[in-house]
Amino acid sequence: MGTLIILAILVLLVLGINSPVWWLAAAALIYLYVRHVRVDQSAPGSSPGGGSSSGSSSATRMDSDYHSYRRRRDRMARWERRYRRERPWNVKK
């Protein structure tokens, strides 16, 4: 979704070479993207995959309390066990 919006912004900027109206449309799209889409992605529990987050972003994020830390750690352990079970040839030993 974000890629499509950024692509649309780039198209509007290219079209804006001859017409400043397209520049204004690109600026409005940038404003809406930063205001709504990026804020929604950074909100806790807003990811569409059921609240699970990727390993790289969760490693840098601090958990608010011990229970959320335990839930995140247990969820990551379940995914790692499942990965090892489903792909035994791909696991480093």
Neighbours of 84 (CB within 10 A): 11
pLDDT digits (tens, 9 = 90+) for 10-53: 888 888 888 888 888 888 888 888 887 766 666 555 444 444 44
Model confidence, pTM: 0.40
The pLDDT assigned to 52 comes to 47
Mean pLDDT of the chain: 76
In the chain, where does DSSP find H-type helix?
A: 2-15, 20-32, 38-42, 55-60, 66-86
User: Residue 9 and residue 32: Cα distance in Å, rounded?
Assistant: 11
User: Residue 1 and residue 92: Cα distance in Å, rounded?
Assistant: 34
